[in-house]
């Protein structure tokens, strides 16, 4: 895993499992891919955008909704993507935590 993706997943997991304040720094409505793009934009490392997004999508099996489309849209509507146990478990598995 690239250092950029590891840093993103670590920061997202910390945010999601503590206070998950909206837009500080992530959006509760969005999944990992969109939050990643926003996070990279704030890092001002545009070279890493394509590579890191591609790496995340590959790890997620190149599925548009790797945790289920109904699951995604329900969490989006309720603004609680960060509470999706499947998403959190997947990140912990990737980070070996």
Measuring CA to CA, how many Å separate 10 from each of 20, 77, 91?
A: 13, 25, 8
6 vs 9: CA distance, rounded Å: 5
Is residue 93 scored above 80 in pLDDT? Answer: yes
What is the domain count for the chain? 1
The alpha carbon torsion through 53, 57, 63, 68 (nearest 10 deg) reads: -90
**pLDDT exceeds 90 at position 61:** yes
**Inter-residue contact 4 to 40 (CB < 8 Å):** yes
Is it the case that residue 49 has pLDDT exceeding 80? no
Domain hosting 23: range is 3-95
pLDDT for 10-46, tens place per residue?
Answer: 999 999 999 888 888 999 999 999 999 888 888 777 7
Residues 6+ apart with CB under 8 A from 92: 13
Task: pLDDT band for 73, please (50, 70, 90 cuts).
Answer: very high
């Amino acid at each position: 895993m690239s250092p950029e993706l590891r840093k993103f997943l670590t920061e997202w997991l910390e945010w999601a499992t503590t206070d998950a304040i909206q837009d500080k720094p992530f959006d509760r409505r969005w999944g990992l891919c969109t939050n990643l793009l926003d996070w990279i934009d704030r890092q001002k490392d545009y070279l890493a955008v394509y590579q890191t997004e591609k790496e995340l999508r590959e790890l997620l099996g190149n599925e548009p909704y790797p945790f289920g489309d109904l699951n995604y849209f329900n969490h989006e509507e309720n603004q609680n993507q960060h509470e999706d146990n499947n998403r959190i478990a997947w990140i912990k598995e990737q980070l070996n935590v």
